[in-house]
């Protein structure tokens, strides 16, 4: 991906995620994680190359591709003039979720995230964490096979973060795919079947934690990350 000012945000990125996998995406701030996710989801048009989700090319068949994934962005401040329920119904309408199914999904997901009692409240009254919970619920309401999550734990309280991690495991166990970027390497270490480490727009290492430890015996993922990138996750380039 090359931006208009000539900055090359990503360079030769290529990877695949198999059904049943949870794949973590880690890299310093500015490394290109969010750019890759925005290209995958069709928000950014890549300078070259393609992204295929559930068999659908995001450029050639954008509607079918977008119906195949849930996307949780790193900014939950969207349409905050709506109530939580209005926003969820708006998303359900876009994805053509039948009324009975959406009611069941909203009830189930709102229950898991402790949001049932505030769905009639305007989102402008929500805390950042409550808005993030609602974004998670809205992304999952159409029950797609692929989940693409950009820093999904940011702003979540420990209980909600635990629920989301459980749901990620359940989703993968059912034969679906999960890709998520994270600054919290301990979470990636707990959850991931595979980890992609990106630095300066390139994937510099990928594999299982055991594979990454072959050259780094006894090291944590955080220690491996710092060794490979020379940075902690909170450093800026």
Q: Is the pLDDT of residue 12 over 80?
A: no
Domain boundaries, the chain: 1-68+144-237, 77-143
Give me the architecture of the 1-68+144-237 domain, per CATH.
3-Layer(aba) Sandwich (3.40)
pLDDT recorded at residue 73: 84
In this prediction, residue 4 has a pLDDT band, given cuts at 50, 70 and 90, of very low
Q: Is the pLDDT of residue 1 over 70?
A: no
pTM (predicted TM-score): 0.85
Q: What is the pLDDT of residues 182-235, one digit of tens each?
A: 878 888 888 999 999 998 888 999 999 899 888 888 898 889 989 988 865 444
Report, as an integer, the average pLDDT of 126-132: 91
For residues 44 and 40, give the distance between their C-alpha atoms in angstroms, rounded to a whole number.
8
148 contacts 179 by C-beta, under 8 angstroms: yes
In this prediction, residue 53 has a pLDDT band, given cuts at 50, 70 and 90, of very high
User: Which residue bears the tokens 């890549």?
Assistant: 46
Q: What's the DSSP call for residue 69?
A: E
pLDDT recorded at residue 230: 80
Show Cβ contacts of residue 7 under 8 Å, excluding neighbours closer than 6 positions: none
For residues 106 and 5, give the distance between their C-alpha atoms in angstroms, rounded to a whole number.
43
Show Cβ contacts of residue 98 under 8 Å, excluding neighbours closer than 6 positions: none
């Amino acid at each position: 991906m090359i931006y208009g000012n000539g900055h090359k945000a990503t360079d030769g990125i290529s990877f695949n995620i198999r059904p049943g996998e949870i794949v973590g995406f880690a890299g310093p701030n500015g490394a290109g994680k969010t750019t890759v996710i925005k290209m995958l989801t069709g928000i950014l048009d890549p300078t070259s190359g393609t992204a295929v989700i559930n068999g659908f090319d995001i450029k050639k068949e954008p509607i079918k591709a977008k119906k195949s994934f849930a996307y949780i962005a790193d900014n939950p401040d969207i349409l905050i003039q709506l109530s939580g329920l209005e926003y969820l119904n708006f998303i359900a309408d876009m994805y053509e979720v039948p009324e009975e199914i959406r009611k069941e999904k909203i009830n189930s997901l709102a229950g898991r995230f402790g949001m049932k009692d505030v769905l009639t409240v305007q989102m402008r009254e929500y805390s950042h964490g409550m808005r993030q919970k609602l974004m998670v619920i809205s992304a999952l309401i159409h029950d797609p096979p692929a989940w693409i999550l950009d820093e999904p734990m940011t702003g979540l309280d420990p209980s909600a973060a635990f629920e989301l991690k459980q749901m990620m495991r359940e989703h993968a166990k059912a034969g679906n795919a999960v890709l998520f970027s994270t600054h919290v390497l301990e979470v990636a270490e707990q959850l991931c079947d595979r980890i992609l480490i990106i630095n300066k727009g390139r994937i510099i290492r990928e594999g299982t934690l055991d594979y990454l430890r072959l050259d780094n015996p006894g090291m944590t993922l955080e220690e491996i990350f710092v060794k490979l990138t020379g940075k902690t996750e909170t450093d800026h380039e």
